Chains A and B, each alone.
Chain A
């Protein structure tokens, strides 16, 4: 009887562990796709994390942005799991369902995508980076552990993006 209850506890613990593991796996695969306010972006920029934060500002109407998206997607797909990619859409919130979600589905984008619903740009843009003129594409890389950050306001090719990440990582 005693043995049995021990076994039962073991099974329970195992099941619990499995559930936790499964849940964490699940959350890894669940793509964030939502409309947010600036506080959500601020949370990403300031959170405690061992991952290198790769934040790209884009929009569905911005051709050079779309051109560089695959490079961010391949960083997101890296097996090392050292990076957290967030694609911040500056499309208009009322076009989220039609334009952004449709675009994400069509392109099969896997990275987290948040649409920043803050039309009064001058109220928040300097909080991302004071050198930002307001044009996209723009990219911000943050190493939360070292506090290193790098902001660029231009279209990147794949080599430039990797180089940029490496300067912040090391």
Chain B
């Protein structure tokens, strides 16, 4: 039994070290099955109509996430109908960050009128697998002919966290516009500025 436990632990550690850096642009996106604030379970294949997703690791408590909330809602409104809806994942351990609890996620989504699923990554396995480091951290996913999803962009939403109107590089919009136009995404990676993810011990 102990041996079995030990081998499971070492296997997990091994997986941990392999996926440590997370996914890269051009990689296949890793699927997940996470609980949404409405109680349903959501995975990449839950919605077969999409062309892709704007996957955003974000939370209630980070000032940067809060500054970007309206822009995340705007992205969903802008691109959901075109096939690229937002999927938000709350990556923080809720003991470390009580303000990000499932109940408070529901409340925040309600207060702000989120138009997209807001999932909780209880085990933080999805966050680790993607290699998300900060909130908000965006992964633009593009559906392939074989129904898998490819990572097309990783990084920030735009280049001005403080003032949306003053941003002059709109990384996520540019990436999706390129995908919609069947052209190459020009900027595929930026650094997502924000708060560190609060990991469980």
How long is the Cα–Cα vector from A133 to B192 in the complex, in angstroms?
7
A interface: dominant SS = loop
Known A-B contacts A133-B133, A135-B133; A122 and B159 likewise in contact (beta carbons under 8 Å) = yes
Residues in A with CB closer than 8 Å to B133 are 133-135
Partner of B161, one of A119, A123, A132, A154: A119
Q: Which of B156, B159, B195 has the most CB of A within 10 A?
A: B195
Asked whether B162 is an interface residue with its Cβ less than 8 Å from the other chain, the reply is yes
Task: Check if B63 is an interface residue, CB within 8 A of chain A.
Answer: yes
Q: Classify the secondary structure of B's interface with A.
A: loop
Q: Shortest beta-carbon distance, B58 to chain A, in Å?
A: 14
Given A132-B191, A133-B191, A133-B192: A121 in contact with B134 (beta carbons within 8 A) = no
Which residues of the partner chain A approach B134 to less than 8 Å between Cβ atoms? 133-135
Query: Which of chain A's residues have a CB closer than 8 A to the CB of B117?
Result: none
Task: Identify the A interface with B (CB < 8 A).
Answer: 61-62, 64, 92, 119-123, 125-126, 132-136, 154
- Interface status of B123 (Cβ within 8 A of chain A): no
- Minimum distance in angstroms from A151 CB to a CB of chain B: 14
Q: Any chain A CB within 8 A of the CB of B124? A: no
Interface residues of B in 133-147 (CB under 8 A from A): 133-134
What are 20 A-B contacts with C-beta separation under 8 Å?
A61-B63, A62-B195, A64-B196, A119-B159, A119-B161, A119-B162, A120-B160, A121-B191, A121-B193, A122-B156, A122-B159, A125-B191, A132-B191, A133-B133, A133-B134, A134-B133, A134-B192, A135-B134, A135-B194, A135-B195
